[in-house]
């Protein structure tokens, strides 16, 4: 008991400095991350004139809620939202049908050429998409998949990343349960559906969310593989707000559109805060 | 599973088990879709890219001739490519040197389980799950030399306003700032998880040894975090070398290519200047860099997985 | 969890159903490049696809769609599909992709200099167009329609830079003489500059492909490339650099409005400044004549256009020509030629000029009723028409896009930072450009 008190007394001066530093760091972080958001909101509620003043003001005089209506309409928000939802979900569904069986086979089954196929399938982890984008663009041009849903979905229902994590998790699942199921004359579909998936639920959820965030926010591939608005997703919707030809930058509308753009992801984040963070950690170290 | 289902359903199931199931049981069938897609959208494009780097390709003039190492010679003598490569190296170097220690610092300060600490950590992490489009739009606005808030703050504090994306001196800096801002949350998260993986008894024995804060930090925390550091360094390098969205959205290579990075250069050269062979030569260089770092990352990750 | 997933799946399939039709439409339009019979029609219909650079809901887009409808009414055996492809830059990207995937349209509008890039894929139009129609096009606009002596493009929406003048500001300052040489521009601009009211005498932006700068260069007697498009002439003397230096100085003196010091889009910056009455004169495309005249009138300003200073030395033309692609079948080429001839009829060409201010493409359409009335109502428009004969040839090389990208970058930077050494900039660009030209020459040869 005495020792602990002694220690407490000894630590106080350093402790105080540490606490002050901590407070400063936290304050700076909050400013650096909350202020831009706040400023985005305040800009989205200003008029065109208020935005183009120098020095800029912090808060609009009158809240211009109509900017959101304007942005919604100009951005054609619903159209892109629809496409984003469809493409993200179909990619996830596709991955469940393509990546899960593949990972299952590579993790649990013995067959000739397993190592070879393992490497082949995970080769994509090493290849940065930024190199092959031109070639994929040319391939899709030749088969006329530019500006189509399948063009944006099919290449991504194969994901080396997803397969990798699924394999890691599937490997840890006990074999005896699977053997028992086979003896019980379960179909392969039942094995995958009723045994493997439930046991690997955290990984599945992680993979699904990862794919969802990636696909939802994807600007790169959507801009490369589409040339018109038919199947474009939300990230490209902002382009509709950017000035065309002689028009000026309408920051108030752009910020309103911007907020609407990441609102879905933000909501998801609020609801599933812990799982999302965990998913990135899981994807990271382990 | 072994219940008796009446009539038709039972027959269908029997047929399924007899004919379809063996097909599904075959591992080659299970991996087939993934393998086919991998070949079509990963292997073939990579081979095409590598092949094209040795050719002169033009779809309008119908040219498809083998030129050997010509494209590589061209890019190594092209001042623009060399500038772009330099920019990419600087971008990577600065980001690694600043972003990672910053993340460690922040992680240490936020490593408590109070409401404020958790809230701050969540807030800092938010940009990571937001699309580059929103981030770019936001920062272009903040960095506007006349109407942006950053310059207003600088002048209020008595400093000279900067030209941010408009000047070739500060455009790369602007990109770096945005990039670090976005990735801090993710880096902090990784470091935090690394910190939390350090067993507490080591710290206990350090305290018993009357070790002061600095010694504890440098002799215990840092070494225990080394796998985390390695991971962060490789991920950051891969990330910075792959940067494209930010450039396309914010500066398009910046005034006089001052903020032009490798992937954007490949896009410009192949897509906008129609010089596919040259672009792919640059692409292969990128592939070598990222490939090496990725393989290193991958092997190390695998090792650790086995280790644990 | 399962129910939630199921709901999402159903939602997606429903959405897919709604968007299915949207998705199919562009595919079928773009992949059509061979003639197919339209099922219900009794006669065989030839389908042609026309890619243009207008937004579907813009004035020009609607005009083109209407023209197509009227044409199809008179020619039931031809089906014309008009597809908007964004802008001049976008259409180039898409044509490149179409060339790679062999899905080129029948005809397309391209910025005139891109003939230098796409000519290997185009058709000799003199084989399909009525010689009288070809003869009728304005001589000045035909300058960049020939490649290697072969007619490969015809004018459609062409423009030239004119001097836009805010007459009201001139009157307020008591100035009656409109400058017609560059020296006069400098002195008049100085007289009109009023720092207290925030008024600048003159302003200009080089535009995204530097064609305004190019035009100014020609008007000073300078050149960009040699006639065979193999040698860069930008740095043959100090003309190119001197222009930049002069403009830098005038910007520093506060006489020239400098849109390059703002982060915002330069065209919109200078356009807004002019429309706000903050810039007394600017050099811009007469393709926005009608639009600007209306806007200025709304703002209470009288606006007129005057000849491009130094036009006698030659000035640049810009904007779109129509080309036809060789992938089209003989029937499609004949059909496309008919549509081109229709677009060149007096009524269509005249109405188009009235709507936009784009130059009248043919000699006879100037006398067309609507256009004649328009000219009578807007006598200053004659200054656009009379310039056409001074059109200077444009660079027709496949390297032009790379060259003007580098050029625009440098000259924009020279204006953003007016202490930049213009001569050094021009030298740098010239060296880069010569390398690019050499590549292009090699490409064309082999």
Put simply, whether C37 touches A (Cβ < 8 Å) is no
Q: Is the pLDDT of residue A35 over 80?
A: yes
CB contact (8 A) between residue B147 and residue A251: yes
Nearest to B144 by CA among C48, A56, C58: A56
As a whole number of angstroms, the distance between CA B47 and CA A221 comes to: 19
* Nearest Cα residue in chain B from A238: B133
A80 and A58 together in one domain: no
Pick among C1, C96, C97 to test the A interface (most A CBs inside 10 A): C97
**3-state SS of C210-227?**
CHHHHHHHHHCCCCCECC
Q: Estimate to the nearest angstrom the gap between the alpha carbon of B161 and the chain centroid.
A: 31
Instruction: Supply the pLDDT for residue A250.
Output: 79
Reported ipTM exceeds the 0.90 cut? no
Q: Does C14 touch chain A (CB under 8 A)?
A: no
User: Residue A88 maps to which CATH number?
Assistant: 1.10.3720.10
Q: Is residue A273 part of a domain?
A: no
> Nearest residue of C to residue A137 by CA position?
C97
With an 8 Å Cβ cutoff, are A121 and B298 in contact? no
Contact A234, A84 (CB under 8 A): yes
- Can you give the pLDDT at residue B89? 95
CB pairs under 8 A between A and C: 82
> Which residues lie below 8 Å from residue A54, measured CB to CB, with a gap of 6+?
B146, B147, B152
Contact B249, B259 (CB under 8 A): no
Query: What number of CA atoms fall less than 13 Å from residue A241's CA on the CB side?
Result: 31
Tens of pLDDT, residues B73-131: 999 999 999 999 999 999 999 999 999 999 999 998 898 888 899 899 889 998 988 88
DSSP lists the bridge partners of residue B215 as none
Whether residues B61 and C444 touch (CB distance < 8 A) is answered with: yes
Distance of CA C360 to CAs C184, C355, C364, C376, C384, Å? 29, 11, 9, 15, 9
CB nearest C93 (choices: B60, B79, B271): B271
Q: Is C108 helix (H, G, I), strand (E, B) or coil?
A: strand
Average pLDDT of chain B to the nearest whole number: 87
> What's the rounded Cα separation, in Å, for the pair A96 and A86?
15
pLDDT band at B5 (very low <50, low <70, confident <90, very high): low
Examine the domain organization and report whether A62 and A81 are in the same domain: no
Burial A165-194 (b: 16+ CB within 10 A, else e): bbbbbbeebeeeebeebeeeebbbeebbee
| Residues of chain C with C-beta less than 8 angstroms from the C-beta of B255 | 409, 412-413, 416
For B:54-113, CB contacts with A below 8 A are 105-106, 109-110
| SS3 at position C156 | strand
Strand, helix or coil at C357? coil
Residue A284 lies in a domain: no
Cβ of A230 within 8 Å of Cβ of C25? The answer is: yes
Q: Are C118 and B58 in contact (CB < 8 Å)?
A: no
- Of B291, B240, B266, nearest to A123 by C-alpha is B291
Q: How much is the average pLDDT of C16-35?
A: 38
- pLDDT digits 0-9 by tens, A114-161: 899 988 888 887 777 777 887 888 888 888 888 899 999 999 999 988
- pLDDT bin (cut points 50, 70, 90) of residue A108 is confident
Q: Is B216 in the A-facing interface, judged by CB distances under 8 Å?
A: no
**A81 shares its domain with A175:** yes
Question: CA end-to-end span of chain B, whole Å?
Answer: 37
Any idea what the Cα angle at residue C333 is, between residues C327 and C338, rounded to 5°? 155
Q: Are C344 and C361 in contact (CB under 8 A)?
A: yes
Q: Could you say which of A55, A269, A285 has the minimum Cβ distance to residue B126?
A: A269
Computed over every residue of chain C, the mean pLDDT equals 89
d(C-alpha C133, C-alpha C440), whole Å? 33
| CB within 8 Å: A134 and B24 | no
Higher-confidence residue of A93 and A58: namely A93
- B105: tokens are 């610092």
pLDDT: is C260 or B19 the higher one? C260
- Partner-chain contact C23 A90, CB within 8 Å: no
Q: Which residue of C has its CA nearest to B71?
A: C439
Contacts of A243 in chain C (CB under 8 A): 264-265, 268
Given CATH 3.90.226.10, say whether it is the number of domain C161-316+396-445.
Answer: no
C93:B61 CB<8 A? no
Name the strands in the sheet holding C318-324, side by side, starting at the edge strand that comes first in the sequence: C78-84, C46-52, C107-111, C318-324, C153-159
What is the structure's pLDDT at C9? 54
Considering Cα of B260, then B265, then B268, then B273, what sign does the dihedral take?
Answer: positive
Structure tokens at A59: 């808060």
Measured between beta carbons, the chain B residues lying within 8 angstroms of A265 are 129-131
Long-range contacts of C171-179 (CB under 8 A, 24+ apart): C171/C302, C173/C280, C178/C306, C179/C281, C179/C309
**Which run of H or E residues covers position C322?**
strand C318-324
**Cβ neighbours for C293, distance < 8 A, ≥ 6 positions apart:** C303, C357, C378
Q: Which of B21, B147, B287 sits opposite A127 (nearest CB)?
A: B287
Domain C17-159+318-390 has CATH 3.40.190.10: yes
Residues 6+ apart with CB under 8 A from A105: A111, B27, B30, B31
A81-85, B301-305, C137-141: range with lowest mean pLDDT: B301-305
Q: How far apart are CA A165 and CA A150, in angstroms?
A: 25
pLDDT for C92 equals: 92
- Rounded Cα–Cα distance for residues C326 and B68 (Å): 32
Q: Is A80 a member of any domain?
A: yes
Chain B residues inside the 8 Å CB shell of C262: 145-146
Buried/exposed code over A109-147 (b: 16+ C-beta within 10 A; e: otherwise)? eeeeeeeebbebbbebbbbbbbbbbbbbbbbbbeeebbb
Distance (Å) from the alpha carbon of B173 to chain A's nearest alpha carbon: 17
Give the long-range contacts of residues C178-187, CB within 8 A, separation 24 or more: C178/C306, C179/C281, C179/C309, C180/C306, C180/C307, C180/C309, C181/C309, C181/C310, C182/C219, C182/C220, C182/C309, C182/C310, C184/C309, C185/C281, C185/C309, C186/C246, C186/C250, C186/C255
- Please enumerate in sequence order all residues whose Cβ is within 8 A of that of B114, keeping only pairs 6 or more positions apart, or say none: none
Is C23 within 8 Å of chain A by CB? yes
Q: How many interchain CB pairs under 8 A, A with B?
A: 258
Residue A245 domain-assigned?
no
Report CA B134 to chain centroid distance, whole Å. Answer: 18
Cα–Cα distance between B223 and B236 in angstroms, integer? 20
Residues A16 and A131 in one domain: no
Residue C389 confidence (pLDDT) above 90:
yes
State how beta strands C161-166 and C153-159 pair: unpaired
Identify the weakest region by mean pLDDT among A221-230, B193-202, C99-108: B193-202
- A165 with A81, same domain: the answer is yes
Residue whose C-alpha is closest to residue B279's, from B114, B5, B103, B49: B49
Note the pLDDT tens digit of each residue in C170-215: 999 999 999 999 999 999 999 999 999 999 999 999 998 999 999 9
Every domain of chain C with CATH number 3.40.190.10 lies at: 17-159+318-390, 161-316+396-445
In the structure encoding, which two tokens stand for residue C185, read together?
Answer: 């521009």
The pLDDT confidence band at residue A248, using thresholds 50, 70 and 90, is low
Q: How many domains are there within chain A? A: 2
**Within 10 Å of residue A63's Cβ, how many Cβ atoms?**
12
Q: Per-residue confidence at B35, pLDDT binned at 50, 70, 90?
A: very high
Closest listed residue to residue C327, CA positions, set C82, C23, C51, C111: C51
Per-residue pLDDT reduced to its tens digit, C275-290: 999 999 999 999 889 9
Q: Do residue A47 and residue A167 come from a single domain? A: no
Q: Are residues A16 and A124 in the same domain?
A: no
The answer on A101 and A230 residing in a single domain is yes
Same domain, A51 and A81: no
Cα(B152)–Cα(B161) distance, integer angstroms: 8
| C6/A contact by beta carbon, under 8 A | no
pLDDT digits (tens, 9 = 90+) for C352-386: 999 988 999 999 999 999 999 999 999 999 999 99
Say if B195 is an interface residue toward chain C (CB within 8 Å).
no
**C-alpha span between C83 and C26 (Å, rounded):** 9
Domain that holds residue A222: 76-240
Of C41, A50, A261, A107, nearest to B138 (Cα)? A261
What span, in angstroms and rounded, lies between the C-alpha atoms of C135 and C82?
26
Q: What is the mean pLDDT of residues B210-237?
A: 80
Query: C292 CB contacts (<8 Å, ≥6 apart)?
Result: C164, C271, C274, C275, C303
Crossing angle of helices A66-75 and A234-241, rounded to 10°? 110
Of A22, A184, A254, the CB nearest to B137: A254
Chain A partners within 8 Å of C103 (Cβ): 141, 144
Q: Which residue has the higher pLDDT, C392 or C445?
A: C392
Could you read off the pLDDT of C39-92 as tens digits, one per residue? Answer: 444 567 899 999 999 888 888 999 999 999 999 999 999 999 998 888 898 899
Asked if residue A256 belongs to a domain, the reply is no
């Amino acid at each position: 008991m005495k020792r602990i008190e002694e220690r407490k007394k000894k630590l106080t001066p350093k402790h105080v400095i540490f606490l002050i530093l901590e407070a400063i760091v936290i304050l700076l972080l909050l400013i650096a991350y909350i202020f831009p958001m706040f400023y985005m909101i305040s800009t989205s509620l200003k008029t065109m004139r208020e935005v183009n003043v120098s020095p800029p003001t912090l808060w609009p005089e009158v809240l211009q809620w109509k900017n959101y209506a304007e942005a919604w309409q100009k951005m054609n928000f619903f159209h892109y939202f629809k496409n984003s939802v469809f493409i993200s979900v179909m990619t996830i569904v596709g991955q469940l049908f393509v990546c899960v069986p593949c990972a299952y086979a590579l993790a649990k089954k013995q067959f000739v050429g397993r190592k070879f196929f393992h490497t082949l399938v995970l080769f994509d982890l090493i290849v940065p998409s930024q190199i092959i984008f031109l070639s994929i663009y040319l391939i899709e041009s030749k088969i006329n998949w530019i500006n189509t849903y399948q063009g944006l979905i099919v290449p991504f229902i194969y994901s080396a990343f997803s397969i990798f994590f699924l394999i890691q998790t599937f490997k840890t699942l006990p074999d005896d349960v699977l053997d028992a199921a086979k003896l019980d004359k379960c179909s392969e579909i039942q094995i995958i559906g009723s045994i493997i998936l439930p046991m690997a639920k955290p990984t599945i959820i992680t993979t699904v969310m990862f794919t969802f965030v990636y696909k939802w926010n994807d600007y790169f591939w959507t801009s490369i593989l589409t040339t018109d608005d038919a199947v474009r997703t939300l990230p490209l919707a902002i382009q509709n707000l950017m000035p065309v030809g002689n028009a000026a930058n309408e920051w108030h509308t752009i910020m309103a559109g911007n907020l609407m753009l990441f609102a879905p992801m933000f909501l998801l984040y609020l609801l599933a805060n812990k799982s999302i963070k965990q998913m990135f950690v899981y994807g990271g170290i382990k | 599973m072994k219940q008796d289902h009446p009539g038709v359903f039972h027959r269908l199931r029997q047929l399924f088990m007899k004919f379809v199931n063996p097909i599904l049981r075959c591992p080659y069938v299970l991996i087939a879709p993934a393998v086919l897609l991998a070949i079509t959208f990963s292997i073939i494009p990579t081979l095409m890219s590598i092949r094209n780097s040795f050719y002169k390709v033009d779809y309008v003039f119908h040219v498809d001739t083998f030129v050997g190492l010509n494209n590589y010679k061209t890019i190594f003598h092209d001042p623009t490519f060399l500038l772009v490569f330099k920019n990419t190296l600087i971008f990577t170097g600065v980001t690694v040197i600043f972003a990672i220690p910053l993340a460690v610092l922040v992680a240490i300060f936020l490593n408590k389980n109070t409401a404020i600490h958790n809230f701050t950590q969540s807030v800092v992490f938010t940009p990571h799950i937001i699309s580059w489009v929103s981030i770019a739009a936001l920062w272009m606005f903040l960095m506007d030399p006349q109407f942006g808030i950053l310059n207003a703050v600088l002048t209020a504090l008595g400093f000279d306003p900067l030209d941010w994306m408009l000047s070739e001196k500060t455009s790369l800096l602007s990109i770096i700032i945005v990039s670090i801002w976005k990735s801090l949350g993710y880096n902090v998260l990784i470091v935090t998880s690394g910190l939390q993986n350090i067993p507490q008894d080591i710290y206990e024995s350090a305290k018993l040894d009357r070790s002061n804060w600095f010694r504890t930090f440098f002799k215990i925390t840092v070494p225990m975090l080394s796998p985390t550091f390695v991971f962060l360094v490789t991920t950051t390098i891969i990330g910075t070398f792959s940067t494209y969205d930010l450039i396309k959205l914010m500066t398009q290579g910046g005034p006089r290519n001052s903020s032009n990075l490798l992937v954007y250069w490949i896009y410009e050269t192949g897509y906008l200047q129609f010089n596919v062979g040259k672009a792919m030569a640059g692409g292969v260089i990128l592939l070598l860099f990222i490939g090496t770092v990725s393989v290193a990352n991958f092997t190390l990750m695998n090792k650790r997985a086995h280790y644990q | 969890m399962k129910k939630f997933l199921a709901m999402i799946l159903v939602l997606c399939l429903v959405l897919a159903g709604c968007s299915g039709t949207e998705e199919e439409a562009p595919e079928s339009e773009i992949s059509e490049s061979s003639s197919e019979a339209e099922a219900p029609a009794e006669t065989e219909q030839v389908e042609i696809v026309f890619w243009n650079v207008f937004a579907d809901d813009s004035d020009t887009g609607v005009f083109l769609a209407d023209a197509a409808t009227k044409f199809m009414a008179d020619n039931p055996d031809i089906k014309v599909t008009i597809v908007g492809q964004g802008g001049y830059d976008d259409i180039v990207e898409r044509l490149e992709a179409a060339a790679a995937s062999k899905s080129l349209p029948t005809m397309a509008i391209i910025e005139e200099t891109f003939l230098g890039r796409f000519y290997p894929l185009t058709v000799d139009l003199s084989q399909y167009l009525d010689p009288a129609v070809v003869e009728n096009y304005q001589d000045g606009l035909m300058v960049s329609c020939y490649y290697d002596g072969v007619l490969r493009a015809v004018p459609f929406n062409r423009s030239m830079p004119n001097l836009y003048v805010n007459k009201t500001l001139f009157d307020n300052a008591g100035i009656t003489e409109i400058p017609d040489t560059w020296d006069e521009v400098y002195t008049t601009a100085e007289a009109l500059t009023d720092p207290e009211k925030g008024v600048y005498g003159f302003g200009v932006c080089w535009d995204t492909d530097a064609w305004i700068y190019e035009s100014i260069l020609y008007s000073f007697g300078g050149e960009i490339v040699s006639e065979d498009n193999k040698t860069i002439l930008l740095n043959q003397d100090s003309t190119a650099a001197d222009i930049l230096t002069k403009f830098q100085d005038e910007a520093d003196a506060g006489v020239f409005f400098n849109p390059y010091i703002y982060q915002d889009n330069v065209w919109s910056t200078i356009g807004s400044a002019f429309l706000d009455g903050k810039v007394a004169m600017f050099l811009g495309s007469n393709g926005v004549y009608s639009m600007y005249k209306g806007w200025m009138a709304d703002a209470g300003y009288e606006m007129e256009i005057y000849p491009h200073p130094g036009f006698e030395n030659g000035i640049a033309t810009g904007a779109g020509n129509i080309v036809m692609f060789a992938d089209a079948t003989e029937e499609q080429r004949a059909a496309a030629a008919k549509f081109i001839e229709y677009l060149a009829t007096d009524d269509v060409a005249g109405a188009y000029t009235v709507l936009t201010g784009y130059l009248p493409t043919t000699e006879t359409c100037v006398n067309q009723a609507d256009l004649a009335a328009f000219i009578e109502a807007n006598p200053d428009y004659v200054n656009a028409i009379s310039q056409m004969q001074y059109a200077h040839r444009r660079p027709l090389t496949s390297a032009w896009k790379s060259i003007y990208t580098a050029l625009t970058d440098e000259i924009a930077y020279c204006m953003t930072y007016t202490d930049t050494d213009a001569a050094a900039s021009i030298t740098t660009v010239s060296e880069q450009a010569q390398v690019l030209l050499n590549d292009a020459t090699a490409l064309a040869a082999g």
